[in-house]
Structure formats: C-alpha cells, structure tokens
C-alpha cells in the first residue's frame, strides 16, 4: 500500500509556515542553545504518488540548518526534524516514491548517518512521529487484511514501549495521529467505517 496523506493537513501547515516566516522566526532560530541545531523552513513541496496525480501527496519541506558561516540547505525534502543530544537532528526524509526513512544529522561533524529502522518499521507505509523530550517514536504498522496498529519504541535501541490494538481500515488513506501535549498518549481519528466508530481514539504510553 502506498503511503497516503490528506492534502488539507499539509495546506494548514504551509499556512502556518508562511505566517512564521513573516514574523521573523528565522532570526530566532539562529540563537538556539549550543547543544541544539538551529533550522528553518525555506519552502514546501508536495511529494505525489508516482503516476497517481496530485490528491494523495505528502506535504514536505526543504530546510536549512545553521552552520559556521551561515545557513546551509539540506538537499532533500523532509518532515519537521526533532532535536537529539549532541547537537544533532533526527530527520524524516521523504523520498520520491513516498517512503519515509530515518536519518541522523550531526551539526558538529556535518555528517548524515543512517538510523537503523525499528524491527517492524515499513518505510513505504508508515507515518512516524517522534517525541523529542521522551525520545519515543510512534509509527503505524500494517496488519495484513485487517487494518493498522500504532507502535511506540524508544530511541536509540528501539525498545518496545507500547503497542495499540488493530484499527479497522475501510479506505487507503494514511492514519492521522499525533502525540498529546504531555506525551502520555498517542491520539488518532479512526476511519469512519461504521456508525459505532469513535471520532477520536487514543493509546496510553507508559512512563518508564
């Protein structure tokens, strides 16, 4: 199944980006603490399914990072990055075939390294969401013939923290989910497959 993403969520994010740029957000990023990487969005792009038109694209961005001497551009489209220890970023790179792969960028070493994927991570299907304060990666895993489930693993060894129940699917759109503000829950809007389908569902993520 090719990765799908609702276009309206991307358009909303693009609008937020435009407003932030207008307010001078880029100058604030350059004053980040020493152990973080300052970054900014330069433009947005829609990664469309090969040969399938425009309406199920993934909204991604081109980013720059602050280096000695000024801003430098990443040469690929990606989702918003997350800060990691040691002045580095966890990148979610969106490839031309809509697969999403994980990479780590070190500002001090100017090095982009491969992040070993979690055991059940399918880059051609999932949408990963990383919570930097707890260093947890939530992502969707296909359940053959039934639907999807949400899995949470801890960086960097990908120890299993939580695994949700199977979510029934009645369409091929990507499951849209996010972290709660306190990072204790993963929240999602289940596909409306029947009148009994809840509008919002969630999974508790235990604190270790």
DSSP the chain: ------HHHHHHHHHHHHHHHHTTHHHHHTT--TTS--EEEEEEEEEPPTTS-STT-EEEEEEEEEETTEEEE-SS-B---EEETTTEEEEEEE-TTS-EEEEEEETTTTEEEEPPPPTT--TTT---EEETTTTEEEEEEEETTTEEEEEEEETTTTEEEEEPPPEE-SS-SPPPEEE-TTSSEEEE-----STT--S-EEEE----
Structure confidence at residue 173 (pLDDT): 67
pLDDT (0 to 100) of residue 25: 39
- In this predicted structure, what is the pLDDT of residue 116? 94
Q: What is the pLDDT of residue 193?
A: 78
pLDDT of residue 54: 60
Query: What pLDDT does 100 receive?
Result: 94
Going residue by residue through the chain (208 aa), what tens digit of pLDDT does each one get? 444 444 444 544 444 444 444 344 344 344 556 689 999 999 999 998 887 666 678 899 999 999 888 999 999 999 999 999 999 999 999 999 999 999 999 988 889 999 999 999 999 888 899 999 999 999 999 888 888 899 999 999 999 999 998 888 776 666 778 999 999 999 988 877 777 677 788 999 999 7
């Amino acid at each position: 199944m090719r990765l799908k993403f609702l276009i309206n969520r991307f358009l909303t994010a693009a609008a937020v980006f435009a407003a932030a740029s207008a307010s001078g957000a880029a100058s604030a990023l350059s004053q980040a603490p020493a152990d973080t990487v300052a970054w900014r969005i330069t433009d947005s792009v829609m990664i469309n399914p090969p040969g399938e038109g425009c309406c199920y694209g993934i909204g991604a961005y081109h980013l720059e990072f602050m280096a000695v001497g000024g801003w430098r551009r990443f040469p690929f489209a990606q989702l918003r990055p997350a800060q990691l220890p040691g002045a580095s970023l966890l990148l979610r790179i969106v490839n031309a075939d809509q697969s999403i792969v994980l990479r780590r960028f070190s500002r001090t070493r100017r090095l982009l390294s491969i992040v070993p994927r979690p055991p059940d991570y399918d880059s051609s299907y999932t949408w990963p969401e990383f919570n930097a304060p707890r260093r947890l990666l939530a992502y969707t895993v296909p359940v053959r013939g039934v639907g999807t489930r949400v899995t949470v693993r801890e960086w960097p060894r990908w120890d299993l923290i939580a695994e949700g129940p199977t979510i029934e699917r009645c369409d091929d759109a990507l499951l849209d989910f996010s972290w709660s503000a306190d990072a204790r829950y993963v929240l999602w809007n289940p596909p409306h497959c029947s009148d009994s389908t809840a509008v919002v569902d969630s999974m508790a993520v235990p604190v270790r």
